[in-house]
Amino acid sequence: MQKIIEKIEAAQAAYIEAVATKPQAEAQKLGAEVKALRQELAAKIAEGAVPCSVRWFVDKAAGLVPGKGCGNLPHGILQPNGFEICCLACGDARPRAHRPRGLFREQAVAAWNVEHDPSTRDAAIKRRLGGVQ
């Protein structure tokens, strides 16, 4: 993962220099490389995560309630103090403290999977609804 991060930093530096000094088409090409590397990093972080199967949304009367997820693979984010797994398609109405994070990426993926794997999902939802919403 560190290698991808270093590649992103180098690619972004090359892109920023190109924006100021090179033809637009060349800068755009370098920009696309930065974006592709970021997608590669996100996929690496989320490796092993199951597809999104639950979407939390806010109901005026009931508060946070679970609904059906979108089925897309989640996105991994390198946060300042660890890793976060989230669904870019669904979004998440829950407060930050309830989104799957971990000091290590495997922890974040495991936390995501507990909530989205059909074999553990229902129990996780029950626990969530029984606790702080």
Footprint of other proteins (CB under 8 A):
12, 15-16, 19, 28, 30-32, 34-35, 38-39, 42, 72, 75, 77-81, 84, 86-96, 99
CB of 34 to other proteins, least distance (A): 4
Residue placing its CB nearer to other proteins in the complex, 90 or 111:
90
- Is the Cβ of residue 24 or residue 119 nearer to other proteins in the bound state? 24
Nearest to 127 by CA among 109, 118, 115: 115
Length, in residues, of the chain: 133
Q: How far apart are CA 1 and CA 16, in angstroms?
A: 23
Reading the block at residue 76, the tokens are: 């991994």
CA 100 – CA 94 distance, rounded (Å): 11
CB of 58 to other proteins, least distance (A): 12
